[in-house]
Amino acid sequence: GGEAAAAMSGSEGLLSVDYEVSGRVQGVFFRKYTQGEAKRLGLVGWVQNTSHGTVQGQVQGPAERVRELQEWLRKTGSPQSRISHAEFSNEKPIAALEHADFKIVK
């Protein structure tokens, strides 16, 4: 099973990205679904509702997986949600993960 370990560290390192999703994303279990998807992909970070009706957070992990979550945040979201816009910022390579897991911040 050496391949899996090699694949994880692959050529692409770890990435950290902040995100903010607009649309009908509060009161539709968006945070819970985001957490579930992030954990499925093996990512860490956090997600929270903002006072102006959006959902924001940060995600960190292998670049390829981070891209998958970005795509999910842009197009999928929770079943009841209606995403109008997903914005990503502060994208940067990191040497190590800064979070232990993926949390929902109240």
The residues annotated as belonging to the active site are 31, 49
DSSP state letter for 92: E
Rg of the chain's alpha carbons, rounded to an integer?
Answer: 14
Q: Are 30 and 81 in contact (CB under 8 A)?
A: yes
Give the separation between CA 102 and CA 36, rounded to whole angstroms: 9
C-beta atoms surrounding 57 within 10 Å: 24
Is the separation of the CB atoms in 61 and 43 below 8 Å?
A: yes
